[in-house]
């Protein structure tokens, strides 16, 4: 595999990456870090070798000052724009990212990497443990949001990018954005954490724990060693996804989309079939998820979110996590998001104010719940565009078109 | 087993019931209905023979006018007062029911029956199908809230009680209360539906479906035939319970009770152990639940709640369900209950107002979530006492003490 040479890379489409096969999008890459470049983990151990899979869109300018790191959420990946190689669906944030879009790939060099612990090419529990030659399974070290960000920083080093123009993400992606600002304040010009929090709440930990228990209760999970014999805890993972999916929506959105309508009939069947449309929808969510996601990765990434607590890392005072930060922030929440409610975003804003940071905040009125950050929310698009435009001027970035 | 002869029953303690063993509380009874008394079900079939297990507290007065039917919630049972024969814990509503308590057993004759479809003595999917001599399993007909109430009405006939002084219940118990008022308005003098709704919302159906899928995903469920070989889908049922339990609490209550505190330690273990107190608590909830509950019953009772829709049964107009009702109502909700939010109770009140019914309504401020109806909420206790006292005067009941 050829390392990506950014200086020879005026357009991402010109990048050569020998690890790509026919199904891999042309702007999909893998950065490999050898035994000499270990990833130091919060758990107290190092991960080496490891690799980070990522995509890029647009061109890095000569000053290397227009890079935007997009951080994905729990079940997201690096396929933020363009067809997903497994699902063939369009990228998860095409609504926001592309030529002329709020995150304008005609102006910015967009990078999106699969988090460490993930299952779309970055090293995770499904990867081979070099010491055993077998999949890591539960011997993979527990990782944190800070570990994900540390790996992303190594990726930027590898790409020769010292400072991000912007770091953008929602949900777990927003946690990474906040961690970037806290860990590497000099490397983030502008930060856009959306629908997120500086710590996972007890209720959210509880929902995650139910999902993990559903996976671990599946006999095909086999203590995490299901890769060894080709089994797969599909049913447990589907149940975990179904439960989580409810938390991504709102009562109002579910009522609007499904209400109490029956599936393809007028009356109840008096059975345990998927009688109601909402049941059929949820089952579909569960079944389609297991086609593209690794159950152990789900355990590791939910755990990383549970452990996330920026204030605890800063001696109990959240504002200290952002002390003297030069980064400018834009914090966004959604009224019907009960997983990461506006109160969590307000706590971020209060801490940033206490740290005398430059911060703007928007609460967007919608009934779409937490998932709103992935959906066509014109107000969100306008805010992202406006914030990046303003930051771009301050950064001296000039539109190419 | 001896049928209970109410006319010979000045005190419940004097009742003889030959089906009782040493572990069964003395006021625990079973009413058996033979092939000549089938339970007609909404599914279009009849259940016969069947039996209803119930408890009684206090004495029926000479006029038979002081009976209070207490309806239990999804995972409740007839052991509303006194030690539970399986868990040995105190009754689930001792806070409200007993001598001198708001539902005063010195004044009222309290009856609490295990719902049909349940697993604590009433006929349900774990009972023997007389046609096969084996447990019903999924061949048990799907039952509805109206079926539960129909069975309770047959129990009252059996006990020689024409009219209930009051019908009281929370959550699924509240659904039964509303169904009682709708199905048998002449038989309910006063109705007290607490923390409930006239129809299950899309979000609530969704949560139920996740629980059912967790049970059905457990290989020990075996298509519902686990009783045949002594297996038991414990892990699936525990996951279902864990998920449901989160919905019974509130974010604020979980934060107050557990926050992000670690279990017996200062720092994370970087593992999938129950690191956080809230995880340990949830796991305990799941494990202890499977000791006392049948997985198939859980399927049937959640399904009954999903199907509940009083307005649909009344031609789409909720007020028609209560047309010209003589019953007096007291509707109670809790501010932090997001499973049956106050808006659902208001819909009940609006429908009752439209039906010109006598109704009072109280929304109690608490952070305890849906479970508040089972907890020590002095305002709820005061409201229940006051409503029953007032109704008792109207009914001509005189306190014995």
For B334-368, write each residue's pLDDT tens digit. 999 999 999 999 999 999 999 999 999 999 999 99
Between strands B97-98 and B103-104, the pairing is: parallel
The second-level CATH assignment, the architecture, of A6-201+309-395 is: 3-Layer(aba) Sandwich (3.40)
**Res B263: pLDDT:** 87
Contact B258 A299 (CB under 8 A): no
Number of DSSP helices (H) and strands (E) in chain A, helices first: 10, 14
Is a pLDDT exceeding 50 seen at residue B20? no
Query: Do A6-201+309-395 and A204-303 come out as alike in CATH topology?
Result: no
Q: Between residues B22 and B192, which one has the greater pLDDT?
A: B192
Which chain A residues touch B279 with a CB distance below 8 Å? 205-206, 209
Q: Counting Cβ atoms within 10 Å, is residue A353 exposed (0-12), middle (13-18) or buried (19+)?
A: middle
Pick the residue of B146, B239, B283, B297 with the most A CBs within 10 A to test the interface with A by mutation: B239
Report how far residue B240's alpha carbon sits from residue B95's, in angstroms, rounded to the nearest whole number.
Answer: 27
Which chain B residues touch A147 with a CB distance below 8 Å? none
Is B188 strand, coil or helix? strand
Report how far residue B245's alpha carbon sits from residue B234's, in angstroms, rounded to the nearest whole number.
Answer: 16
Report how far residue B365's alpha carbon sits from residue A351's, in angstroms, rounded to the nearest whole number.
Answer: 30
Which chain A residues touch B243 with a CB distance below 8 Å? 207, 210, 243
Chain A residue with minimum CA distance to B338: A251
Nearest CB to A258: which of B202, B216, B255?
B202
Contact B43 A270 (CB under 8 A): yes
Fold of A204-303: Rna Polymerase Sigma Factor; Chain: A (1.10.1740)
Contact A274 B209 (CB under 8 A): yes
- Can the peptide bond before residue B167 be classed as cis, meaning omega within 30 degrees of 0? no
Q: Which residues of B5-29 are buried (b: 16+ CB within 10 A; e: fewer)?
A: ebeebeebeebeeeebeeebbebbb
Which chain A residues touch B307 with a CB distance below 8 Å? 268
Provide mean pLDDT across the span B94-116.
97
Nearest in space to B161 (alpha carbons), one of B197, B195, B186: B186
Using alpha carbons, list the distances in angstroms from residue A170 to A175, A299, A307, A316, B357. Answer: 8, 19, 17, 24, 49
Which chain B residues touch A140 with a CB distance below 8 Å? none
Q: In this prediction, what percent of chain B has a pLDDT beyond 90?
A: 90
**Res B399: pLDDT:** 57
Domain ranges of chain A: 6-201+309-395, 204-303
Is B56 strand, coil or helix? strand
Q: Please, how many CA atoms are within 13 Å of residue B114, restricted to the half-sphere of its CB?
A: 25
Beta bridge partners of B322: none
Strand stretches in B130-183, DSSP E: 134-135, 164-170
Residue with tokens 């290397």: A64
**Res A398: pLDDT:** 67
Residues 303-362 of chain A with CB under 8 A from chain B are 303, 306-307, 309, 312, 338
pLDDT tier at B25, thresholds 50, 70, 90 = low
Residues 104-143 of chain A with CB under 8 A from chain B are 138, 141-142
Q: Sign (positive/negative) of CA torsion B374, B380, B383, B389?
A: positive
A272 to chain B, closest Cα gap in Å: 8
Enzyme catalytic residues of B: 171, 337, 370
**Res A267: pLDDT:** 84
A370 catalytic? Reply is yes
DSSP state of B224: G
Residue A111's H or E segment, with its range, is: strand A109-113
Report how far residue A339's alpha carbon sits from residue A368's, in angstroms, rounded to the nearest whole number.
Answer: 12
Is B282 near chain A, with CB under 8 Å? yes
Pick the residue of B43, B144, B147, B213 with the most A CBs within 10 A to test the interface with A by mutation: B213
A356 catalytic? Reply is no
Using alpha carbons, list the distances in angstroms from residue B362 to B71, B171, B371, B385. Answer: 20, 15, 16, 13
Nearest CB to A239: which of B217, B268, B278?
B217
Residue with tokens 């079973």: B30
Is a pLDDT exceeding 60 seen at residue B27? yes
Beta bridge partners of B164: B188
The second-level CATH assignment, the architecture, of B6-199+309-395 is: 3-Layer(aba) Sandwich (3.40)
Report how far residue A199's alpha carbon sits from residue B21's, in angstroms, rounded to the nearest whole number.
Answer: 53
Contact A209 B236 (CB under 8 A): no
The tokens for B259 are 């926050």
Report how far residue B172's alpha carbon sits from residue B197's, in angstroms, rounded to the nearest whole number.
Answer: 9
Q: Which residues of A139-173 are buried (b: 16+ CB within 10 A; e: fewer)?
A: ebbbbbbbbbbbbbbbbbebbebeebbbbbbbbbb
Report how far residue A397's alpha carbon sits from residue A299's, in angstroms, rounded to the nearest whole number.
Answer: 40
**Res B22: pLDDT:** 47
Is A71 strand, coil or helix? strand
**Number of A:B CB contacts under 8 A?**
156
**Res A13: pLDDT:** 33
Residues 141-170 of chain A with CB under 8 A from chain B are 141-142
Task: Indicate the Cα dihedral angle B319, B322, B326, B327, nearest 10°.
Answer: -110
Strand stretches in B99-235, DSSP E: 103-104, 109-113, 128-129, 134-135, 164-170, 188-194
Number of DSSP helices (H) and strands (E) in chain B, helices first: 10, 14
Report how far residue A292's alpha carbon sits from residue A309's, in angstroms, rounded to the nearest whole number.
Answer: 29
Is A255 near chain B, with CB under 8 Å? yes
Q: How many residues does chain B have?
A: 401
Nearest CB to B276: which of A283, A306, A338?
A306
Task: Give the residues of chain A that fall short of pLDDT 70.
Answer: 1-25, 398-401
Is A62 near chain B, with CB under 8 Å? no
In this structure, the number of other CB atoms found within 10 A of the CB of residue A136 comes to 23
Which chain A residues touch B249 with a CB distance below 8 Å? 203
Contact A279 B242 (CB under 8 A): no
- Can the peptide bond before residue B49 be classed as cis, meaning omega within 30 degrees of 0? yes
The tokens for A220 are 């095909």
């Amino acid at each position: 595999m050829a390392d990506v040479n950014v200086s020879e890379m005026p357009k991402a489409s010109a990048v050569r990456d020998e690890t790509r096969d026919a199904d891999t999008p042309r702007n999909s890459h893998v950065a490999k870090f050898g035994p000499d470049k270990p990833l130091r983990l919060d758990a107290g151990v190092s991960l080496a070798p490891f690799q980070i899979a990522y995509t890029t869109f647009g061109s890095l300018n000569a000053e290397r000052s227009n890079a935007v790191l997009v951080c994905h959420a729990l079940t997201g990946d690096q396929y933020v724009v363009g067809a997903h190689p497994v699902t063939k669906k369009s990228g998860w944030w095409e609504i926001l990212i592309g030529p002329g879009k709020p995150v304008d790939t005609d102006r910015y060099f967009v990078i999106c990497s699969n988090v460490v612990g993930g299952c779309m090419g970055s090293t995770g529990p499904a990867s081979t443990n070099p010491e055993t030659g077998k999949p890591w399974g539960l011997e993979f070290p527990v990782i944190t949001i800070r570990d994900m960000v540390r790996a992303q920083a190594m990726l930027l080093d590898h790409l020769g990018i010292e400072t991000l123009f912007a770091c953008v993400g929602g949900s777990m992606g927003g946690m990474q954005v906040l961690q970037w600002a806290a860990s590497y304040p000099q490397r983030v010009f502008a930060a856009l954490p959306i629908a997120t929090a500086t710590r996972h709440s007890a209720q959210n930990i509880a929902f995650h724990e139910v999902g993990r228990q559903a996976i671990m209760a599946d006999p095909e999970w086999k203590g995490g060693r299901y890769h060894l014999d080709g089994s797969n805890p599909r049913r447990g993972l589907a149940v975990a996804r179904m439960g989580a999916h409810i938390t991504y929506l709102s009562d109002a959105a579910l009522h609007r989309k499904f209400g109490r309508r029956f599936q393809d009939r007028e009356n109840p069947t008096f059975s345990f079939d998927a009688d109601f449309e909402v049941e059929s929808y949820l089952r579909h969510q569960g079944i389609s998820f297991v086609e593209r996601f690794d159950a152990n990765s789900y355990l590791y990434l939910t755990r990383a979110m549970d452990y996330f607590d920026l204030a605890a890392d800063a001696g109990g005072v959240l504002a200290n996590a952002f002390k003297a930060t030069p980064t400018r922030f834009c914090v966004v929440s959604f009224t019907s998001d009960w997983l990461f409610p506006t109160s969590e975003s307000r706590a971020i804003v209060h801490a940033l104010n206490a740290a005398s940071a430059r911060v703007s905040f928007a609460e967007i009125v919608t009934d779409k719940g937490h998932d709103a950050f992935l959906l066509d929310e014109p107000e969100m698009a306008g805010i992202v565009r406006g914030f990046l435009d303003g930051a771009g001027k301050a950064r001296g970035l000039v539109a190419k078109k």
